[in-house]
Chains A and B, each alone.
Chain A
Amino acid sequence: MSLLLLIPLLPLIGFAINGLAYPKLSKSIAGIVGTIPPLVAFVISLQLFLNFDGQTQIIQLADWIKVADLSIPFAFQIDALSIMMLLVITGVGTLIHLYSMGYMAHDAGFGKFFSFLNLFIFFMLILVLGANFTVLFIGWEGVGLCSYLLIGFWNQKNSYGDAARKAFIMNRIGDLGFLVGIFLLIQEFGTTDYQTIFSTIKDGTEVGNIGLIAFCLFIGAMGKSAQIPLFTWLPDAMAGPTPVSALIHAATMVTAGIYMVIRANALFELSPEVLHFVGWIGLATALLGAAIGLFQNDIKKVLAYSTVSQLGYMFMGLGASAYTASFFHVMTHAFFKALLFLGAGSVIHAMSDEQDIRKMGGLKSKMPITYLTFLLGTIAISGIPPFAGFFSKDEILAALYHHDFAMWCLAILGSALTSFYMFRVFILTFWGDFRGTEKQAHHLHESPWSMTIPLIILAVFSVGGGLINLPHFAGGNEFLAHWLAPILPEPHEVGEVSFFSLEMGAPLVAAFLPAIFAIYYFGIQKAVPGNDESVQGIQKVIYRKFYIDEIYDFVFVRPIQVLSTFFAQVIDFLVIDLIVEGVGKTVKTASDEIRKAQTGNVGYYIFMMVLSIALILVLTLRSRIL
C-alpha cells in the first residue's frame, strides 16, 4: 500500500526536482533524476502484478470533496485493468525516458523536458489509478496539459505553438462532454465511484440517462483518443519532440479513451446504440486515418495517421464488446507504435531533423539496429503472423466478423491499407539510394546506445507481445482474457476458428498482398513520390488530408471568428462596456460620496452612532412600547 503510493509519487518528485532545479542541474543528472522514477515505479508495478490475487483493492487517501450528500474521495483502485495499464505506462515510459537522454542530449531545455515527461507520467498514473471518474478526470486533464506543454516544447516556432493550442482546444471539446458525463453520473448515481456505480448497475437498479452518460463519456474519449471528428490534432501534435510522440501520442495518453470505455464497460453494455456508434466511429476513423496515411511523405505524419487508424481499430473492438481484444491491441500497439516512433526519431536524429521520406533512402547500412527494429515494428503493425500486431488485430477482426459483417469487410480493407503505407514508409526510408544532401550523408550515424537499447527492447516485445493473449488455436491460453475477466462482462461465445476459413484467411491476405505490392513498387521499381506540386486528382485530395482541416476552418473557425468579431466590436462595446463600466463608475462615485461621511470629527461620529441607536430602538420597539 505504501509502496503503491510511491508509483505516482516518484514521477511527481522527479518533476519537482527537475522543474525546480532546472536549469542549474547538469544534463546527465537531470536525465538520471528523470529516468529513475518511472523505472522504480515499473519495478513496483511489476511486483504488484506478480503478487496480485485478483481482488480489487480500494485505497482511500483522503476525503477530497464533501458537499451535502456528495462525497468524492481521493482514492486509488488497484485491479486487473489498472495493473496492466501501470505496467505499460511505467515500462514504455522508462524506455522512452532512457531514449530521450540520447535524443534530447543537444537540447537546451533538457531538464525542462524531463520534468514535463515526469509530470506526464504522474498524471497518467493518476488517470489509471483513480477509483472514481473524478480522480480519473484529474489525470485526464493533467495529461492534456502535459501534452500541450510537450507539443509546444519547441515554442520558438509559431506553428508548433499553434499545434499545441489545437491539441488543447480539441481536447477541451471532448473534455466538456466528459465533464457533462460526470455531472450526469453524479445526478443519477449520486457518486462518481466506479464500484458503487457498477454495482448499482449490476443489481439491476433502474437508472435513467445511461445512454446519454455513455455518449457523453465517449465524446471525452473521442477527444483524447483522436476519433472523428476530433482527430485532427493528433497529426499536428507531431510538432513535439519524437519521444513525446512515442510516449504520449502513441503508447499511453491517446489510449486513455479506450481505457476509460473499458473501465466503464458496464455503462456502455447497457446502451447498445452508443456501442454501435462507437464501433462505426472507430471504423470511419480507422479507414480515414489509413487512407490519409497512404500518401503522406513526413515519416512522423504517416505514423501519426497510423495511430489514428489503430485507435479506430480499438474503438471498433469496443463497439463489438470485444474489450479484451481492444485492450490487447492497446498493449501491443503501445509496443510497436512506440518502437516505430522511436525508430523514426532515431532516423530523424541521424538525418539532422529531416522528416521527409523522399529525402531519405538507403539508411539500411548506416543504421543497422534502427533498420532491423523498424522492420520488426512494421511487420508487427501490418498484422503479419506471428508478430504481436497480428494476434491483437486478428482478435478484433474476429469479434467484428461475428458482430457485423459489413464492418468486418471495411476493417479488412483498412488493414490492407495499413500494411501498404507502413511498408511504403519503411522501404522509402531504408532501401534504395540515399536522396538527401551531401552534408546529411556525411553526418549519418547509428544512434547512441541509450537510443538503441529501448529500440531493441521494444522490438522484442513487438515480436513476442502476442504471447500475453495467445489464442487457443495457436496453442496459447489467453492469459490477458483470464486476467481481465473479473472486470469485464461475459464474452460472447465464439466458435472454434479454423486456420483456413474466410475469417482467418482474409486478414492474412490483407496483410501480405499490400506488403508485397509495396515492396515491388517502391523496392524493386524504386518509385519515389514526386514533389508536392506534382500530385493530382484523388491522390491530392488524400495528400491534403481530405481537406478536413480546411473544412473545419471554414465550418467552425470562420463563423466563430466572425461572431466573435461581432461580439467584440458591437456587443462588447455597446452593451457590455456600457453596463460594466457603468457599474464600475457608479461604485466609484458612490465610494467617493460615502467616503465623505468619514469626516474625522469625533463629535459627528458619536452623533451618528447615537442617532442610529435611537433609530434602531424606535423602529424595533415601536409596537411594544407604544
Chain B
Amino acid sequence: MTAIIALSLFGISNLFLGFWFPRKTIQLVTLLFLVVSMALTVSDWNHELLWFGNMFRTTNTSINFSLIIQLAAFFVVAFSKAFGQDDEHTHPAEYYAIMLFSVVGAILMVSFDHMIVLFVGLEILSVAMYVLTGSDKRNLRSNEAAIKYFLMGSFTTGFLLFGITLVYGATRSFYISNIGTILTTTAPESMPSFLFIGVLLIIVGLLFKVSAAPFHFWTPDVYEGAPTIFTMFMSTIVKTASFAALFQLVSGIFGSLYTVWVLPVYFISMLTLVVGNISAVYQQSVKRMLAFSSISHAGYLILTVSSKQISTTSSILYYSLSYTLATVVAFAVLILVSEYQSARVEKPENFSSFEGLAKNNPGLALCFSISMLSLAGIPLTAGFWGKFFIFSDTFSRNIIYPVILAILMSAVGIYYYFKGIIAVYLKAGEIEKIEVPTLFKMALWACTLGTIILGIYPSLVKSVF
C-alpha cells in the first residue's frame, strides 16, 4: 500500500530529476523506482488491511494484480527507447512521471474498497492516458487519437459515475463491503429498479475501459494513433487494472445480482470475441491487428467473470500475466521494426515491414514469433495455459456455448497471429541488422523467457496466485 505513496513521490521527484539528468539516467531511475514500489507491494503480502479511512483494501489478490501492473510498467519503461529524438520537445522525465502516476491510479483500481476510490483511480489512469496518447504532439494521428480517447473516455466515465450514484442512491453507501451486505441481505423484489440500472452502468463503464464490444470503437483508432510505447502501456496496464476492478465488482458484491447482468455480460463477451477476432483478420497494420487482438482477449477474460470457481481468480491473474508478457514483446518488436522502416517505407507498421526480419535479426524474429504463438494460445507458451484455465473454469460452470464460440474464435486468431510469423520467416525482404540497446534486449528476452517458462511450468505462478 505504501507503494502508492512511494510511487506518487517518485513521480514528483521524476519531474525534478528531468532538470538535471539525461534521459538514460531517468529511465534507469524510474526502473529502480518501480522495483522499490514492487518490493513495497510485496511487503503487504498476507496482511489483509484497510487503509485511508477504510477506503482501500490490500488483499493477496489485489497485490498480485498490482504486481502484474507494475511489472508491465517496468517493461514498458525498459522498452521506452525514445519518444522522438530531441529532448526539448519530448520531455522524457514528464512521461515517466505520468506513467508512474497512472500506475498509482491502476493500483487504486485494483485495491479499492470504496466506489469513489475506484472512480478516482480510473480518472488518474485515464487522464494520464489521454495525455500520453497525444504525446506525439506533431503527429496528427496522435492528436486525433487523444481527442477521440478523451471524448469517449469522459463520456463513459459519466456512465460510470451515474451508475455509482444510482447504486449509492439505492444502498446509501459507497463502501464496497456495505453495499455487498445490503445487496445480499435484501430480497431482489424489494430493491429499487434503478439499482439495477446503476449496476449495469458501472459494468458498462468498466467494459469500455477493457474495450469490450460494442464499446470498443475507440480502441483501434486510439491504439493506432498513440505512440507505440503508450499503446503497449494501454493494452497491458489499463486493461489489467480495469479488468481487475470489473472482476472484483461483478464476482464480489454484484454476485448476488447474477441474474441481472449475466445475460448482457455473456452477450457482450461473445460479441467482443466475434468483433475482435473477425475484424483482426483483415488488418494490414500490425498495430491495428494488435488492437483488435486486445479486444478479443478482453472477450476471453469477460467469459470468466461469472465463473465462480475457486480457481477463477488465479486463472484471471495467470491470463493477465501471460497476455501482458506476450503483448509487451509484440509491441517492443513493433517499435524496433517500425522505427527502422519509418525512413524506408510509407507504412512502417504494416505486416509487410516485418518481411524477412528473421534473416538478419533471428533473435527479434524468435521473440516476436513466440509472443505471437502465446497470443494465439499455442501449447508450450503461457498463452495456451491462460486460455486453458479460463476455458476450463468457465466450462465447469456449465457455460457451454460461449466457450465453444471462444474456442472457434481462438482458431480464427491463429490466422492473423500467424500472419506475423509468416511475414517474419517465410517472406523475402531486406532488413539489415537492427541495433537493439542492451536494456531493451534484456527486457525482450526476459519477457520471452517468461512466456516459455510459464508455458512449460504453469504451476510456478499458478500456485502463488
Contact = CB atoms under 8 A, between A and B. Distances in A.
A50 B152 CA distance: 76
A620 B260 contact: yes
30 contacts: A62-B457, A584-B415, A588-B281, A591-B279, A591-B281, A594-B274, A594-B278, A594-B279, A595-B279, A595-B282, A597-B217, A598-B217, A598-B220, A598-B221, A602-B148, A602-B152, A604-B217, A605-B148, A605-B217, A605-B218, A609-B208, A609-B214, A609-B215, A609-B217, A613-B204, A616-B200, A616-B204, A620-B200, A621-B196, A625-B193
Contact of B193 (A66, A590, A604, A621): A621
Nearest to A74: B457
B278 A590 contact: yes
Nearest to A624: B193
A605 B152 contact: yes
A609 B268 CA distance: 12
A200 interface: no
Interface of A: 62-63, 66, 584, 587-588, 590-592, 594-595, 597-598, 600, 602, 604-606, 608-609, 612-613, 616-617, 619-621, 624-625
Given A587-B281, A590-B278, A621-B196, 13 more contacts: A62-B457, A587-B415, A588-B282, A594-B274, A594-B278, A594-B279, A598-B220, A598-B279, A600-B221, A609-B214, A616-B200, A620-B261, A624-B193
A617 to B, nearest CB: 6
Given A602-B151, A609-B215, A620-B200, A63 B264 contact: no
Name, among A66, A605, A617, A621, the residue most crowded by chain B CB atoms within 10 Å (CB to CB): A605
Interface in B100-141: none
Given A598-B279, A609-B215, A619 B155 contact: no
Nearest to A616: B264
Nearest to A65: B459
B214 A587 contact: no
B246 interface: no
B161 interface: no
B371 interface: no
B217 A63 contact: no
B378 interface: no
Contact of A612 (B155, B215, B274, B415): B215
A519 to B, nearest CB: 59
B63 interface: no
A592 B283 CA distance: 9
Contacts of A619: 263-264
A613 B159 contact: yes
Interface residues of B, number: 36
B263 A620 contact: yes
B261 to A, nearest CB: 7
B275 interface: yes
A584 B263 CA distance: 30
Cβ-closest 4 pairs across A and B: A605-B217, A591-B281, A591-B282, A612-B214
Contacts of B264: 616, 619-620
A619 B260 CA distance: 10
A617 B263 CA distance: 11
A587 B280 CA distance: 10
A619 B264 CA distance: 9
A609 B279 contact: no
A63 B463 CA distance: 11
A616 B212 CA distance: 14
A609 B221 contact: no
A602 B145 CA distance: 10
Interface in B224-264: 260-261, 263-264
Contacts of B260: 620
A606 B152 contact: yes
A602 B151 CA distance: 8
A613 B163 CA distance: 12
Contacts of B415: 584, 587
Contacts of B280: 591
A103 to B, nearest CB: 34
Nearest to B144: A600
B422 interface: no
Contacts of B278: 587, 590-591, 594
A63 B459 contact: yes
A395 B420 CA distance: 63
A588 B415 CA distance: 10
B412 interface: yes
B90 to A, nearest CB: 27
B197 interface: yes
A606 B155 contact: yes
A64 to B, nearest CB: 8
Nearest to B283: A595
B156 interface: yes
Contact of A608 (B200, B217, B279, B457): B217
Nearest to B282: A591
Nearest to A610: B155
Interface string B168-203: 000000000000000000000000010011001100
Contacts of A624: 193, 196
A594 B275 contact: yes
Nearest to B456: A64
Contacts of A613: 159, 201, 204
Contacts of B459: 63, 66
Contact of A617 (B200, B221, B275): B200
Interface in B296-325: none
